[in-house]
């Protein structure tokens, strides 16, 4: 049987493993930071209608500039954004990949602060960009002084700042992002995949875009919009960034069906985001419950909780799995991550954790 070793793979891919989170048919999946609340029925019907209407024209290529969708994203984001500030792709991972195709590549570097989203080094590998992972500070925080010093030392071509950070949930201050931009010689990406789950009043890096042409704010519809299966990500930046990404995108990369579905969802943004308050409440409930049980939950601006104090991560994973609950072992000794579920799912998780302590 043919294996990778029998193929003329690029040297940089040998010995590597593809990205993937454990998948299993369990009643409660709290391991991949999905929005566990789903899409409201009235919104679902409108999306179905929009997609059905677009089918009539599938004999033609879609709008390769996805102009109306970009206008809708700009209106949703506010902050003075216009269509020319927006770019979109099939999930925020493809957005990030396109950024590295344009600004990374052989001989260039991509810096992030670990632990962070595990796709970053894989995207670097796939684009032949050298990944530099620098450790975060105590309690997984990042200060303006530290981040500026590290970036100045490495002078990377592209910097990525995940805020709130995955897997730790740590948000960044605007001062920290400013310091990163001022120290960086190249592109600075602020990955705000979980921004909608931040506590109310938390500022977005969107406020910093004016006058900073090398700054990019990346977003996704996968999380707060409960649109993970639709694969829609986007960014806001200086219009010159979108011009650069046109050089590396595949032709007509956003299908007519994707554009129709995303536009329909955005028309109902208030309804789609109505569950965010409940998700925050369940996240905070998880944090409080874990702390009462003697674990160490870290502060989170996302829809998940990262917690320490786990004696045996494999044993805890198995204990919960046997009770139909899936959470994430992120490979950090003594720590695990759990997505905030519905009230029922959160109760089941906390009950299972309490049983372990009994």
Averaged pLDDT for residues 104-132 = 97
CA distance 295 to 16: 33
Of the ranges 20-29, 161-170, 259-268, 324-333, which one carries the lowest mean pLDDT score?
20-29
**Are the C-beta atoms of residues 259 and 230 closer than 8 Å to each other?**
no
Domain map of the chain by residue range?
A: 20-37+275-357, 41-271
Averaged pLDDT for residues 13-18 = 78
- What's the pLDDT at 21? 65
pLDDT band at 13 (very low <50, low <70, confident <90, very high): confident
What topology is assigned to 20-37+275-357 in CATH? Answer: 3.90.1150
DSSP state of 4: G
Rg (C-alpha) for the chain, rounded Å, is: 21
pLDDT band at 78 (very low <50, low <70, confident <90, very high): very high
Averaged pLDDT for residues 204-222 = 98
Using the predicted structure, report yes or no on whether residue 145 has a pLDDT greater than 90. Answer: yes
Q: What is the pLDDT of residues 28-65, one digit of tens each?
A: 999 999 999 989 999 999 999 999 999 999 999 999 99
Higher pLDDT, 3 or 55: 55
Sequential DSSP letters for 144-192: HHHHHHHHHHH--SEEEEESS-TTT-----HHHHHHHHHH-SSEEEEE-
Q: Which long-range contacts (CB under 8 A, 24 or more apart) does 124-127 make?
A: 124/100, 125/12, 125/13, 125/16, 126/97, 127/97, 127/100, 127/101
CA distance 222 to 51: 18
- Mean pLDDT of the residues in the chain: 95
The sign one gets for the Cα dihedral 122, 97, 329, 287 is positive
User: What residues are paired with 327 via a beta bridge?
Assistant: none
CA distance 63 to 88: 12
HSE (CB half, 13 Å, CA atoms) of 79? 18
Nearest to 132 by CA among 151, 146, 149, 148: 151
Instruction: For residue 183, give both structure tokens.
Output: 């120290």
| pTM for the predicted model, two decimal places | 0.95
Distance of CA 105 to the CA centre of its chain: 22
pLDDT band at 22 (very low <50, low <70, confident <90, very high): low
What topology is assigned to 41-271 in CATH? Answer: 3.40.640
Per the document, the length of the chain is 358
Instruction: For residue 11, give both structure tokens.
Output: 């040297």
Torsion over CA of 240, 246, 249 and 255, rounded to 10 degrees? 110
Q: Which residues contact 225 (CB under 8 A, 6 or more apart)?
A: 35, 265, 269, 272, 273
CA distance 179 to 56: 50
Antiparallel, parallel or unpaired: β 336-339 and 304-308 = antiparallel
């Amino acid at each position: 049987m043919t294996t990778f070793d029998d193929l003329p793979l690029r040297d940089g891919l040998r010995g590597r493993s593809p990205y993937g989170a454990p998948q299993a048919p369990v009643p409660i999946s709290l391991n991949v930071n999905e929005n566990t609340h789903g899409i409201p029925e009235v919104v679902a019907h409108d999306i179905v209608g929009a997609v059905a209407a677009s089918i009539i024209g599938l004999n033609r290529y879609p709008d390769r500039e996805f102009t109306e969708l970009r206008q809708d994203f700009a209106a949703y984001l506010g902050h003075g954004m216009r269509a020319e500030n927006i770019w979109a792709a099939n999930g925020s991972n493809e957005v990030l990949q396109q950024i590295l195709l344009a600004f990374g590549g052989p001989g260039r570097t991509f810096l992030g602060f670990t632990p962070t989203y595990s796709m970053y080094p894989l995207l670097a590998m796939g684009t032949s960009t050298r990944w530099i992972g620098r450790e975060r500070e105590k309690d997984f925080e990042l200060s303006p002084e530290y981040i500026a010093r590290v970036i100045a030392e490495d002078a990377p071509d592209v910097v990525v700042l995940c805020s709130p950070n995955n897997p730790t949930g740590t948000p960044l201050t605007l001062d920290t992002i400013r310091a990163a931009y001022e120290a960086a010689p190249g592109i600075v990406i602020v990955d705000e995949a979980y921004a909608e789950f931040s506590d109310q009043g938390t500022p977005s890096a969107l406020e910093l875009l004016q006058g900073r042409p090398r700054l990019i704010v990346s977003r996704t519809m996968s999380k707060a919009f409960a649109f993970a299966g639709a694969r829609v990500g986007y960014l806001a930046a200086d219009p010159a960034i979108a011009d650069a990404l046109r050089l590396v995108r595949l032709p007509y990369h956003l299908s007519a069906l994707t554009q129709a579905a995303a536009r329909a969802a955005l028309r109902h943004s208030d309804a789609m985001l109505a569950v965010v308050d409940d998700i925050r409440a369940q996240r905070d409930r998880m944090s409080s419950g874990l702390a009462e049980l003697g674990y160490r939950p870290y502060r989170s601006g996302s829809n998940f909780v990262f917690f320490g104090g786990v004696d045996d991560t494999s044993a805890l994973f198995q204990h919960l799995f046997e009770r139909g609950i899936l959470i994430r072992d992120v490979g950090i000794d003594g720590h695990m991550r759990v997505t905030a579920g519905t009230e029922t799912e959160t109760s089941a998780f906390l009950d299972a954790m309490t049983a372990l302590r009994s």
